[in-house]
């Protein structure tokens, strides 16, 4: 290997402090999935924190991050035969927003007590892409949140004041809340912050899906959907 290649590899090295556990990897590994939280973080679209040694600090489960990092390296999920922390790992995958890993971990259908019910939040991202630019250019993008949980919408409205947005009532007492239009980097940054905010309210990602459409000769539309759920206590009438 040429000296220049070694120099490039050394410059490409990143050390992370995840919950007190140190991991060293390459920048390209952390950016493998550009739409993930780590992709946004190491592209400069998400604020970073460093520890006293200058390492990037992430306040999450340190031991479980080894499985996150190995998935970023190989795009394969490898767990020990006696692994018993699948639910915790799923929450970590939700936090880092690594969609292929979330899909690998699969969906669970928890059994809830009879006096509880699920509150649901739908988050969707709509991107219009130019077919003829290389690399493919994002023409316009917007984010929409739909839910019956009005307190959550009120909190988002109060905490995300610098974004263009509007509200409208939809079916079954749900409210749709749309941000945008904005450019691609704004959308990724906003989405990362929204997912973090929704997660802090006790919601976890239940599933994700992607839908591709071709509406015009020179445009493609890609829609990403995330469904969040949390358990709430039923209130007697």
Give residue-wise pLDDT tens across range 136-188: 555 567 788 888 888 888 888 888 876 666 666 655 667 777 887 777 777 78
Can you tell me the distance from the alpha carbon of 157 to that of 166, in angstroms, rounded to the nearest whole number? Answer: 9
- Helix, strand or coil for residue 199? helix
User: Which helix or strand (DSSP H or E) is residue 40 part of?
Assistant: helix 37-41
State the average pLDDT over residues 207-233: 76
User: Which helix or strand (DSSP H or E) is residue 154 part of?
Assistant: helix 150-159
For residue 237, CA distances in Å to 57, 233, 234 come to 47, 13, 9
Give the domains, in start order, of the chain with CATH numbers: 7-105 (3.30.710.10), 116-233 (no CATH)
Give residue-wise pLDDT tens across range 161-175: 766 666 666 556 677
- Helix, strand or coil for residue 48? coil
Is the whole model's pTM more than 0.85, yes or no?
no
């Amino acid at each position: 290997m040429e000296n220049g290649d070694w120099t490039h590899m050394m410059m490409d090295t990143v050390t992370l402090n995840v919950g007190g556990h140190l991991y060293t990897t390459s920048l390209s590994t952390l950016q493998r999935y550009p739409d993930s939280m780590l992709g946004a973080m190491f592209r400069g679209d998400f604020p970073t924190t460093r520890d006293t040694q200058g390492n990037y600090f992430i306040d999450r489960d340190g031991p479980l991050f080894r499985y996150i990092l190995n998935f970023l390296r190989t795009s394969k999920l490898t767990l020990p035969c006696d692994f018993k922390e699948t639910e915790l790992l799923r929450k970590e995958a939700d936090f880092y927003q690594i969609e292929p890993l979330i899909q690998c971990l699969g969906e669970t259908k928890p059994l809830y007590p009879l006096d509880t019910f699920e509150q649901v939040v739908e988050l969707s991202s709509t991107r219009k892409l130019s077919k003829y630019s290389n690399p493919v250019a994002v023409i316009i993008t917007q984010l929409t949140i739909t839910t019956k949980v009005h307190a959550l919408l009120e909190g988002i409205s109060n905490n995300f004041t610098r974004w263009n947005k509007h509200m409208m009532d939809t079916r079954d007492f749900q409210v749709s809340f749309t941000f945008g239009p904005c450019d691609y980097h704004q959308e990724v940054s906003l989405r990362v912050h929204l997912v973090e905010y929704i997660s802090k309210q006790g919601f976890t990602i239940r599933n994700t899906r992607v839908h591709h459409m071709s509406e015009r000769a020179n445009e493609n539309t890609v829609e990403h959907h995330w469904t969040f759920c949390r358990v709430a206590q039923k209130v007697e009438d």
